[in-house]
Structures are given as C-alpha cells and as structure tokens.
Structure 1
Amino acid sequence: MKFSNRTRWLSWLPQLNPQVWILAMGRFLSDLGSGFTLFYAPIFFVNQVHLSATQVGIGLGSASISGVLGRILGGSFADSRFWGRRRTMLLSAAVSAIASLVLAVTSDFSSFTAGNLLMGLGMGLYWPATEALVADLTAPEHRQETYAIVRFADNLGLGVGIILGGILIGTTGAYRSLFVIDAISFVVFFGVIYFAISETYRPAEEIKNKKVKVKNKAFFILPISWTTALSDRRLLVFICVNIIFTTYISQLHSTLPLYLSKFVQMGNSKVGFSTTTISALFTWHMIIAIVTLIPIARFLKRFSHPQTLTVSATLWAVGFSFIWATAIVPVGQLYWTILAMGILAIATVSYTPSASALVADIAPVYLRGVYLSINSLCWAVGYAVGPPLGGWAIDRPPTIASSFWLALALSVVIVVAILQYLDRILKNIDTSK
C-alpha cells in the first residue's frame, strides 16, 4: 500500500528529462543563497550603511544597466557554437559569486553600485541560457509545466533562504554574512553545472536553410538573429506587456520592504513593521508561491498564454489595491498586508511559467537563446525602472507613497488591453496556418 501511494504521488509529477531535475536542484541551491539577501539588502543598506532610499533604488536599478549587456551577451552566447548554454551558465555563476563578495564588503554608494553592476551582469548572462536549456529539454506541450517546476525550485530556495536569513538576522544581526552565504551558493551552483549538466545546443539544419552564417569559433551569431527576432510582431507586443509585469515584480523586492518598514504602522505604535514581521510576511508570500505554483500552472494550461497572463494582471491589481488599503483603513494593517502578499504570490506564479513558455513556443529553434534573451531584457528594463521609481515614492510624503500602490493597480488596465491584442494576433496566425 505504501509503495502504491508513493507511486501515485510520483505519477502526479510531470515526466521530465533528468537534466531538468538536476538543473532545478542547482537552481534551488543558488536561490537559497539569494533568499538570504533579496529582501534584507534594501533594509541593511538604508538602516545600517546609511544610504538614502533613493541611492539604494539607484544602486539596485544599476544592476539592470549591466543586466542589459549581460542578457544580450547571454542570448548570443547561448546560440553560439563556442559558448552554448552550459559555458554561458558557468560564466554567469562565477561573475555572480564575485558580485556577492563585493556587496559583502560594501561601505559606500560607489562600492554598492559596483557590486550591483556585477550582479546584474551575472544574472543577465544566466537567464537566456538556462531558459533556453529548459526549452531544449522539453516538448512544447509540457513546456509550461516544466518552467513551473524550475520556478518551483527557485521559489523554494528563496523561501528557505528568507527563513534562514531572518533567523540569522534576528539572532546575530550579521547582515554582511548573508552576502558571503550568497557567494558560496553560486560556487555550489557552478559545481552542479560543471559536473552534471551537458550541452544541449545543437546547431540546426534550419540555420543553413535560412542562410545564417555561423563561424565554428564565433562568439556570436551574426546580428541577423536579433533583426529576425525584433521583426516578429508577436514578440514585440509581448515585450510591451512584459516590461510592465517585471516592473511590478521589482516593487515587491525593492520598494515594498521599505514601505512596510517606514509607512505601515502596527496599530497605534506609530512605528512601521519590524524586520522580523517583514521577514514573516515575505516567508508567507514565498510559501503561497511554492504551494500553488505547480497546481496553478497545471490548471491554467487549458488557457492560451495571453489569457493566463490576463488572470495574473488582474491579481496584481487586487494585491496592489490591498497594499494601498493599509494606508487608508485605520485598523487591521497587518491582515490587509497578509492578504495582499498571498494574492501577489499567486499573481507572480501565474505569470512566470506562461511568459517563458510563450516566448519559447514562438521562437525558432536556432534563435531560442536570442528570443529568450529579449524576454529576459524585459526584466532588466523593469528592474531599471522599478527600484528608482519606488525609491522616489518612498522618499515622498506618506500620501504620495501610499498612492503609488493605487497607481500601480490602475495601470493593469493597460496591461489587459495589450494582452487582448496579443491574443488576437496569435489566434490569427494559428488560423492562417
């Protein structure tokens, strides 16, 4: 009976290539380290290093400047014979480990910015290669669930990291050690890739058919690959909406912790949420994301990608509205925030697998790295815009700071309109085939 129950539980999981599970485990270990720093970094650099909220926002946003370069290189490297997916991921892990060590010794704005520039470069190199590798190993009909699995590993790692980071901060107050742990996690991830992941990029015959010349030792596919991708109307429309989604996500990581610590008061205390309370709230957020990611991906698989993203956009509007409610409702701020964090978690997990699967589905095989690089560039733009914008709002009076969340909720109307247009484009193309 026990064997039967275990077999039934395992059969519920999608049947994936073993390398996907190995990659997921590596991503869990890497994000475990990132979870130590992700939500505590803004608080540490404002409260202990004594940078202003605007400086922290600019510093975090600077990662997106180098992230743009990293994503361009990452996409081109991933589609090149010399680098491929595996070598690009190894380079990313090495650069990210160095960035974490720089942040561990940061004491001023210039070193803070330098560390974030390096981290942005490392993350930029990473995303196109890893997303392309997942697509290489997965059939289209299982792609959304596969991306959900690796995102599950990401969220689980972040969740455990947040919990352990909160415990470490609560007991020792040693913020800098968090960045050292993050560096170690990247070194471990480097080892997983080096010993357990094999190269999946195979130059397709379609390259010859399209007359795209690739030198055997070239670092890049010639710029025609980018020209081809950027002439795809489906991709261009998706870029517009994806930048807005990633701006929303950046607010969770950079602006919301500061807003909760500065403006959302606990009852009549006139004091914002403590670091321990914020840690608990983000732990709750990650638990909801972890528990719901795979079931939601499986449920939403019946809908088109634009329809799934419309569901996500609606949830973002509701979640941001509840954050705004913490400023206008005189009681129950903690309960409003708990509800908002749960809804925003579901909004996130509704978005991430479908967005990656959509781009992988429309990309030609030989340009998969470039297409997914452009998808990842949306994250760079979102994180370039989001933290400085949020930091500006935090440095304003409470009325403006709270109204910022209402403005984000209202902006979802634009997102839904773009998604409806994208859905019509995709349906027209399918009909014409």
Structure 2
Amino acid sequence: MGFQRNRFLIWLPQLNPQILILAMGRLLSQTGTGFTLFYAPIFFVNQVGLSSTAVGFSLGLGQISGILGRFLAGSWCDSPRWGRRFTLLISAVISAIASFVLGVANDFIMVVLGNLLLGLGIGLYWPATEAVVADLTTGKQRNEAYALTRLGDNIGLQLGMMFGGLIISTSGNYRALFIIDGISFIVFFGVIFAAIKETNTTFEKSLSHRKGWGENWWTALRDRTLLIYVIVNIMFTVYVSQINSTLPLYFSNFVQGGFSPGIISGLFIGYTAISVIFLLPLSRWLNRFSHAQALSFSALLWGVGFIVIAWTGRGENHALVLASLGLGILALAVVGYTPASSSLVADLAPDTLRGIYLAINAQCWAIGYLIGPPLGGWALDQSPEIVYNFWLGLALSILIALLILKNLDRRIKLQKQVNLKMN
C-alpha cells in the first residue's frame, strides 16, 4: 500500500505547500461554480420567466464588470496596502454575495445585479490567484504549478456539473444550486484566510509601488513583447470561447440528424475528463520547450481540432466519432495553452509589476469572450456551407498565431541574452 501511495505521489510536482492548498481551495470553489455554470440560463429563462435576450444581456454586463475587476486586481495585487491575499479574500466575499443575490433573484434587475457582482468577483480572482502561483515558483516548476491549479479547477467544474445535474433531476430546485455556490465561496474564503500568506515580498525592494496606478499600467503597456503576446492570446481565448458557446448549438443543429442534449452533455463530460487526465502529463512534457514553443504546439492542435469539427458536420454516419475526436483534440489544445500562457507572462513580468502583467493576461480572456460568442453566433445564423467554412477559417487563422509566436519566441530569447550579458 505504501509503495502504491509513493508511486502515485511521484506524479505530483514538488511544490510549495501553499500551492497545493490553493489548488484544493480552487477545486472547492469551482465545484460551486460548476453547479450554476450550465444551469443558470435555463433557470432564469424557464422558471423566472426572463427572455433569452435579457439573460444574455445580463451575462454580457458581467463580462464588463469583470474587466473592471481585472484592472483593480492588477493594481491591488502590486500594492503594499492590499496585496494578493487581500484581493483573493475580497473576491471570495463579492462572489459569495453574488451567488446569494442570484439565488433569490425574481426579476431582471436582480439578475443584472447578481451578474455584475459575479463578474467583478471573478475579475478580481484571476490576476490574484495567478500572481500567488507565480510568486511561489520559478522556472520549469512554474508551468507544472499552473497545471496543478488548473487541474483543481477542472475537477471542481466536473464535480459541480455532475452533482448539479443530480440535484436538478431529483428535486428540480435550481435555487439550491446558487446557495451551494455561495457556500463554496465562503469555504474558499476560509481556506485563503487560514492557510495562504501574503506572497508578494517585493514591496520593500522597489519604489515602483509609490507610483500611481496609471503609471504602473502604462509601464506594462509599453512592453512590446507583452503586447505581441496579447494579440495571440486574444486569438486563443476566442478559440476557447467557441468550445463553450458555439459548439453545443453546432452539434445540435448542424450535424447529421442533430445530437440530443444527452449526447452533447456526454461529449462535454468526455472533454473535461480528457482535460483532467492529460493536464499534468502534457504540461510536464511541454517543459522541455520554451513557453512560446508550447503555445505553438497548442496552436497546431487547435487547427487540427477545428478541421475535425468542420468535418463532423459532413460526416453523416461518423458524426459522433468525429465529434468525440475533435473535442478530444481541442481539450489537449486547451491543456497545452493555459499553463504555458500564464507562465510566459509571469516570466516576462518584473517582480514589482507581476499583478498588473497577469491582470493584462486575464483581460485577454474578457476580450476574447466579448468577441468569440457573437462571432460564433453570427456564423451559426448563416447557411450550413458558411458554418462549416467558419471552422476551417478558424483552423487557417492558426497560421497567423504561429507566425506571431515565432516572433515572440525570438524576442524573448534575445531579451534573455541581453540580460545575461548585462549581469
């Protein structure tokens, strides 16, 4: 038994215990999010009685407040007055309040308020949690640390979806899902409060925190290497958004015979399972490459995955096999992308501006999700031929991403050479 336990533990990266605690906290928090992620629109349309347009509008407002949250988080994380830990605690409080507001919402105004608060809480959360991981790791270890925390997210979402579906099927009580989500954020608050210390130790080493917020952001936005990365990162987040927003409807309306909701649910459970199984092994394998090269590998997978998805619509009797294969390839593309992107930005960032750099990285997700769903929705309103060509167009766009990443890799290597000569 002891041999088996050691054999299992050897697959886990040797990291600061705070990262392992943070990963467990994120698992609990994301379990609560999984309860509501797929069921909230159904509840507010079918039981509260709002229109699909109204619910979509409220979700869009949540993205806008999320942009504000990411801006605040970047500045607070790098501030000696606030720091990473405080930002995470505030994020958990706001997110818990948002969940309880949505749990009692009976009209459009309350749904908008809940989504605004939830967007703000999520916006505060991502730069802070990414900065904590970056503070506690270095070099190749950082990629595995990001993979481990993402593993906690993925397992939590999977558990939340499963248990949320079980509650709905047995009791039909949608409001209970929001209450459980709020409780999960309170538990996450307790984990951070009790077990996570402030990880930013650079306040005394630099005078940059005495500058205004605007000046610190302007310093980051003048980093041309970071801005080149931002372009390709927005492309990647647009790709990710297609999986969540466009693919379910595509599978329902544009494959031979149309997949039933049960089949679509099963496909996405398989997608999440592949993400969980391959996250650590693939991240460890990609450690032998630079971050930009790892992102290039991910881009190639995106291209192949989108080609298979386009083929799914024309696959007739093989549609289910092709859909499974396409989603599996896209799952590996996401697995290759997420840890490498965060690690790249953490490596680019000066220690004293790490929160702002990672906030800019998080803003790419907000921008990508503002572009991606409307773009996919427009495509699905066109003829089947245009819909199939939409996926092929996404596949071709990875050529642009590969060119940008090649340039990015060259710039980063030149910067490292200059820094070595200066030291």
Q: Distance in 2 between matches of 1:55 and 1:427?
A: 48
Describe the superposition over 1:198-227 as per-residue Cα deviations: whole angstroms up to 9, x where unpaired. Answer: 11122344413xxx352xxxxx85322112
Pairwise CA distance, 1:110? 5.0
Pairwise CA distance, 1:55? 5.3
Distance 1:184 1:64, change over 3 A: same
Describe the superposition over 1:326-380 as per-residue Cα deviations: whole angstroms up to 9, x where unpaired. Answer: 3222222222221122111111110000000001111111111111111111111
Distance 1:374 1:344, change over 3 A: same
User: TM-score, length-normalised on structure 2?
Assistant: 0.91
Distance 1:129 1:165, change over 3 A: same
Pairwise CA distance, 1:290? 0.5
1:75 touches 1:371 (CA, 8 Å); kept in 2?
Answer: yes
1:61 touches 1:387 (CA, 8 Å); kept in 2?
Answer: no
Pairwise CA distance, 1:297? 0.5
Q: Distance in 1 between matches of 2:108 and 2:388?
A: 27
Question: Which of 269, 282, 286 matches 1:300?
Answer: 286
Pairwise CA distance, 1:178? 2.7
Unaligned runs of 5+ in 2: none
1:97 is the counterpart of 2:91: no
Equivalent residue number for residue 236 of structure 2: 245
1:243 touches 1:378 (CA, 8 Å); kept in 2?
Answer: yes
Deviates more, 1:79-88 or 1:51-60: 51-60
Q: Distance in 2 between matches of 1:257 and 1:160?
A: 20
1:168 touches 1:174 (CA, 8 Å); kept in 2?
Answer: yes
Describe the superposition over 1:217-247 as per-residue Cα deviations: whole angstroms up to 9, x where unpaired. Answer: xxx8532211211111111100011111111
Q: Distance in 2 between matches of 1:312 and 1:29?
A: 28
2:209 touches 2:352 (CA, 8 Å); kept in 1?
Answer: no
Pairwise CA distance, 1:43? 5.0
Matched letter for residue 297 of structure 2: V
Aligned alpha-carbon RMSD (Å):
2.4
Describe the superposition over 1:44-71 as per-residue Cα deviations: whole angstroms up to 9, x where unpaired. Answer: 5566667666655544333221111100
1:175-194 to structure 2, matched below 5 A, reads: 175-194=174-193
Q: Distance in 1 between matches of 2:405 and 2:328?
A: 24
Identity of aligned residues (%): 56
Pairwise CA distance, 1:381? 0.8
Equivalent residue number for residue 217 of structure 1: none
Distance 1:206 1:196, change over 3 A: closer
Pairwise CA distance, 1:259? 3.1
Distance 1:254 1:55, change over 3 A: farther
Distance 1:242 1:312, change over 3 A: same
Q: Distance in 1 between matches of 2:386 and 2:106?
A: 30
Deviates more, 1:390-399 or 1:224-233: 390-399
1:248 touches 1:386 (CA, 8 Å); kept in 2?
Answer: yes
Question: Which of 235, 246, 255 matches 1:255?
Answer: 246
Matched letter for residue 425 of structure 1: R
Q: Distance in 1 between matches of 2:246 and 2:47?
A: 17
Equivalent residue number for residue 159 of structure 1: 158
Deviates more, 1:378-387 or 1:22-31: 378-387
1:37 is the counterpart of 2:28: no
2:241 touches 2:373 (CA, 8 Å); kept in 1?
Answer: yes
Number of residue-to-residue matches in the alignment = 419
Unaligned runs of 5+ in 1: 215-219
Q: Distance in 1 between matches of 2:409 and 2:293?
A: 7
